[in-house]
Structure 1
Amino acid sequence: MSVIAVLALDGVPGHQLTTPGLVFAAAAKHHPWVSYDLRICTAPNFNGTGGPAAFRIETPWGLEALEDADTVLLPGCTSFRDAPAPAVADALRSAAARGCRIGAIGTGTFVLAATGLLDGRAATTSRHHAAELARRYPRVEVDPDGSVVSHGPFHSAAGVLGGLDLCLRLVTIDHGEAVVIETERQAFLQLQSPTDEPVGNVPTTAVAPSDGSLEEVIQWMEANLQHPLTLTQIAGHAKLGTRTLTRRFRTETGLSPLQYLLRARIQLAQRLLERTDDPIERIAARTGLGTPANLRHHFHRHTCTTPGIYRNAFRSLAAAFTWADQDEAEHL
């Protein structure tokens, strides 16, 4: 289990404090082999979050929780221009010295830069504060346009919606593209997925990684989703009997071959709805679901929404994130 400590300094923007929980919880919920222990830790003299809608938090963890963390996340704070408290700076330097991964969100980069840990390294911060960061810390290579900048064990993000991109980058590093694609989808839309709602006889657990014995046939299936594959064809490609193939699929993925195939088609449909302007008819053909009616039927059973609503919701939220990047309040 990977331990992630989110260090809250006084006046931390509330959305930067809560977004890591949203992302890492989504990764673990939809992928049972993914495990994160997320700790919200407060620095000495912490009173509450910043505005708007400031709130107080209670947590059992202080700076001592950083001592065994694998990753430390440092959100922004209202006093980012001030030198960090000696105890905070020492805790961050100690974490770095033992090889801990450290991520800074928004103006949290100022706090990290003040420790000297970013000297000679590339970093970014909220775009409205990038020039100021460069003036204050000339030994830091400031990228004014970077969304997420990584340099060795240090990662920094522009800060929109609490470093959503930074958290997704860390999930990618830990578990790869396949996991982060589904994590991003759930974090953006919070749609009910097949792991929440039983669909026929489809198990309610997410698909676990294959141990390798089915890797080739799974890749072949995913490369041929547009074709009307049958169980017999899949078994023939795997050079196995249908009963043996089904038994191995259930053992390694928790799904039968055809259930796995349908799940892969729905996930491809989601990606096409998110990233293309293809009409429903084309998406139905590209995913092997045949007709728009068949696509809508299976899509609704697996996501509890329609393709059209899914596409509109995803793009509305994506547009909101882009708009938020222009809002000064989001650049703390």
Structure 2
Amino acid sequence: MIRSVAVPLVDDFAMFEFGVICEVFGLDRSYAGLEPFDFRVCSSSPGAAVPSTVGGVTVTAPYGLEAMEDADLIAIAALQVRDEYPEELLEALRRAHARGAILLSVCSGAFALGAAGLLDGRECTTHWRYAEELQRRFPSARVDPDVLFVDDGQIITSAGTSAGIDACLHLVRRELGSAVANTIARNMVVPPQRDGGQRQYIEKPVSDCDDDTFSELLEYLTERLDESHSVPALAQRVHMSTRSFSRRFVAETGVSPMQWLTTQRILHARLLLETTELPVDEIARRCGFASATLLRHHFDAEVGVPPTRYRSAFARV
């Protein structure tokens, strides 16, 4: 269970990736019924300005690295890839790992984990531009450049920029449940992610959508998962030919319309399995599956376990 989060900063950290961590874990969302995290931004020189990769932009960390000592999660933003990292930071990361804290890196933050010796023998990832360098520096690591994030249990690594959002939300969902992750995602105006709860179970989250027409359509579909939808009817709704609609949908989301719908229905089924005692037949109906058999088929294919076993492991009611 994550209650406290420490974010260590070193010179030339990346502002966007730092902002992603702050957005997911640092904001007080008690207005949405969520308990705030104990959020600590720290550095080796508390009170001193830490320069970012954006010229002239600095952040003053109020905590020293000792704030990492009892944090449940250590989140490392992207930072300039360098030959050496502060030994004080590396030692703090090793101690955190040894006591069982969760460590998460965004983009090139994985290099700090590697320098601390924490990626040896592990599946991991980073921005595709740095993947070969990460593998060269840490040959015992198993670097996968093709995924957006890797959950290897105690250590989670993510690819560049917005993949950090997927990894952070995945971790929230894994530790605190679908309802909390969905509330944060909804307030961030990003889609819920696909994820895997087992070690080395890697997934590519559903892509976000920049086109307003498709954003509105996805919102419409999300609110009507229990209804039947066809590609021709959806194409007509956005005033496109079926062929053009299908091509544009894949370009915007990375998957076909029916694949997207199935994924969202499975996500909703997971939430209902976690948070309600509804029978599987009723969950199938509410999620838009014609039968419990069809739900079980898609659920097993997507999640890797049948709905009843998933509920036994993750139910929060």
Give your verdict on TM over 0.5. yes
Over residues 130-176 of structure 1, what are the superposed CA-to-partner deviations in whole Å (9 max), with x where a residue is unaligned? 11111111100101012110112000111314821121112111221
3-state secondary structure, aligned to 1:48: strand
| Equivalent residue number for residue 110 of structure 1 | 111
**Is the counterpart of residue 71 in structure 1 residue 73 in structure 2?**
yes
| Equivalent residue number for residue 125 of structure 2 | 124
Over residues 274-297 of structure 1, what are the superposed CA-to-partner deviations in whole Å (9 max), with x where a residue is unaligned? 63775x9x959959xxxxxxxxxx
Query: 35, 38, 59: which one pairs with 1:57?
Result: 59
Over residues 203-223 of structure 1, what are the superposed CA-to-partner deviations in whole Å (9 max), with x where a residue is unaligned? xxxxxxxxxxxxxxxxxxxxx
CA–CA separation in structure 2 for the residues paired with 1:182 and 1:96: 29
| Equivalent residue number for residue 218 of structure 2 | 275
- Which amino acid letter does the alignment assign opposite residue 53 of structure 2? G
3-state secondary structure, aligned to 1:156: strand
| Equivalent residue number for residue 206 of structure 1 | none
| Equivalent residue number for residue 17 of structure 1 | 18
| Equivalent residue number for residue 303 of structure 1 | none
What does 1:251-330 correspond to in 2, within 5 Å?
273=216, 275=218, 283=224, 286=227
Give, in angstroms, the shift of residue 91 of structure 1.
0.5
Over residues 50-88 of structure 1, what are the superposed CA-to-partner deviations in whole Å (9 max), with x where a residue is unaligned? 33354122222011100110000111212x232212111
**What stretches of structure 2 of length at least 5 have no aligned partner?**
191-214, 229-247, 254-317
- Which amino acid letter does the alignment assign opposite residue 65 of structure 2? L
Answer yes or no: is the 8 Å Cα contact 1:18–1:162 preserved in 2: no
CA–CA separation in structure 2 for the residues paired with 1:11 and 1:167: 21
Over residues 92-146 of structure 1, what are the superposed CA-to-partner deviations in whole Å (9 max), with x where a residue is unaligned? 0011111010001111101110111110011100111111111111100101012
Answer yes or no: is the 8 Å Cα contact 2:49–2:60 preserved in 1: no
Please tell me whether Structure 1 or Structure 2 has the larger radius of gyration of its CA atoms.
1
Distance 1:172 1:82, change over 3 A: same
Distance 1:183 1:151, change over 3 A: same
CA–CA separation in structure 2 for the residues paired with 1:110 and 1:125: 9
CA–CA separation in structure 2 for the residues paired with 1:156 and 1:30: 30
| Equivalent residue number for residue 93 of structure 1 | 94
CA–CA separation in structure 1 for the residues paired with 2:107 and 2:225: 41
Distance 1:30 1:155, change over 3 A: farther
Give, in angstroms, the shift of residue 30 of structure 1.
5.2
Answer yes or no: is the 8 Å Cα contact 1:20–1:162 preserved in 2: no
Answer yes or no: is the 8 Å Cα contact 2:4–2:72 preserved in 1: yes
- RMSD, aligned CA: 3.5
Answer yes or no: is the 8 Å Cα contact 1:73–1:104 preserved in 2: yes
- Which amino acid letter does the alignment assign opposite residue 117 of structure 2? G
Distance 1:54 1:148, change over 3 A: farther
Distance 1:42 1:126, change over 3 A: same
The range that moved more, 179-188 or 114-123, is 179-188
CA–CA separation in structure 1 for the residues paired with 2:183 and 2:216: 14
3-state secondary structure, aligned to 1:5: strand
| Equivalent residue number for residue 168 of structure 1 | 169
The answer to which structure, 1 or 2, has the higher relative contact order (CA under 8 A, 6+ apart) is 1
Identical aligned residues as a percent: 31
3-state secondary structure, aligned to 2:85: coil
**What stretches of structure 1 of length at least 5 have no aligned partner?**
190-271, 288-314, 321-332
3-state secondary structure, aligned to 1:119: coil
Answer yes or no: is the 8 Å Cα contact 1:27–1:179 preserved in 2: no
Answer yes or no: is the 8 Å Cα contact 1:149–1:155 preserved in 2: yes
| Equivalent residue number for residue 83 of structure 2 | 82
CA–CA separation in structure 2 for the residues paired with 1:26 and 1:44: 24
- Which amino acid letter does the alignment assign opposite residue 72 of structure 1? I
Give, in angstroms, the shift of residue 42 of structure 1.
1.5
